[in-house]
Amino acid sequence: MSTSIEYYFQKLDKFPIPGFFDGLSETYEILQRAKQYLADTLVKNDVHENHGEVRGDAPNFHGNYYIGEGTVIYNGVTIIGPVWIGKDCELMPGAIIRPNTIIADGCSVGHGSEVKHTVMMPGAKVASLAFAGDSVLGVSARIGSGVITANRKFNQSEVTLKVAKDKKVPLGDSFFGCVLGDASRLGANAVTQPGTHVGPHTWIFPLTNVRGFIPECKRVYHETKLVMEDNEIVELKP
């Protein structure tokens, strides 16, 4: 269950690329499939297609890309292909979309955020000043402002998912961020350690640091005590 695609994502039929998930069963296979799909379709055929709307200065396009109708690209956006972006998305000012990323219909990437080798399923959103790297975001999943999906261990070894005290599942790469199930949330400034898997409909509250496997339909937060003390009045120098 810990890496089973069907546990995290129940709406694969909404994905805009037909047959994308055919033959896949484990979450870590999704990123491998994305890289191969983009190489076979965009890179091999040297695709440079933007059917969306550019508002403001022209964005920085590099490499191969496909952008669907109704997608709006604002000032200062950088797209480094191969990248596939569906219909009716929003890329806010200063967003950076890095190679091997697939963004499905109705998604948004906020101001100054960076998305790298990530699959965003329909309606997924990354708020401002966040980093989604080597991750999979389910239908209507949300990443809040300032969130970091850490995607590499200090020793650069293969990322694993700890599912029991003495059991770890290898995820097949030294780069692996987070799997965020359908309708799950990462609150502002939360951090997920490499390989974190969050079940559907789970909320990770702001400023929370998580790792490993987190089941579906949970609320996850650190209990902290708020301290309020009297303060002296100090005349501050200009």
CATH number for 65: 2.160.10.10
pLDDT of residue 166: 76
Residue 228 resides in a domain: no
Q: Which domain holds residue 44?
A: 5-220
**What is the C-alpha separation between 158 and 186, in angstroms, rounded?**
24
Indicate whether 205 pLDDT > 70. yes
Q: Is 229 within the bounds of a domain? A: no
Asked if the structure places residue 235 within a domain, the reply is: no
Report if residue 231 sits inside a domain: no
Measured distance CA(209)–CA(1) in Å, rounded: 23
Task: Count CA atoms closer than 13 A to 116's CA, side-chain side.
Answer: 14
Rounded to whole angstroms, the Cα distance separating 137 from 55 reads: 26
**From CA 83, how far away is CA 106, in angstroms rounded?**
16
Q: CB within 8 A of 19, min separation 6: which ones?
A: none
Q: What is the CA radius of gyration of the chain?
A: 19
Question: 231: part of which helix (H) or strand (E)?
Answer: none
Residue 132 lies in a domain: yes
Average pLDDT taken over every residue of the chain: 94
Q: pTM of the entire structure?
A: 0.93
Peptide bond into 82 cis (omega under 30): yes
Q: 3-state class of 131 per DSSP?
A: strand
Is residue 230 one of the residues assigned to a domain? no
Per-residue tokens: 77: 């956006």
Asked whether residue 110 is assigned to any structural domain, the reply reads yes
Nearest 5°: CA angle at 102, between 101 and 107? 115
pLDDT at 71: 98
- The residues pairing with 6 across neighbouring beta strands, listed in sequence order, are none
Average pLDDT value for residue range 49-68:
92
Using the 8-state DSSP alphabet, how is residue 13 labeled?
G
Q: Tokens 């200009």, residue?
A: 238
Query: Residue 58: pLDDT band by 50, 70, 90 thresholds?
Result: confident
Q: In the chain, what percentage of residues exceed pLDDT 70?
A: 99
Residues 6+ away with beta carbon under 8 Å from 190: 144, 147, 148, 204, 205, 206, 207, 208, 209, 210
Cβ atoms of residues 186 and 199 within 8 Å? no
The answer to whether residue 225 is domain-embedded is no
**236 — pLDDT class (breaks 50, 70, 90):** confident
DSSP H/E element including 67:
strand 65-67
192-207 b/e (C-beta count within 10 Å ≥ 16 → b): bbbbbbbbbbbbbbbe
Domain count, the chain: 1
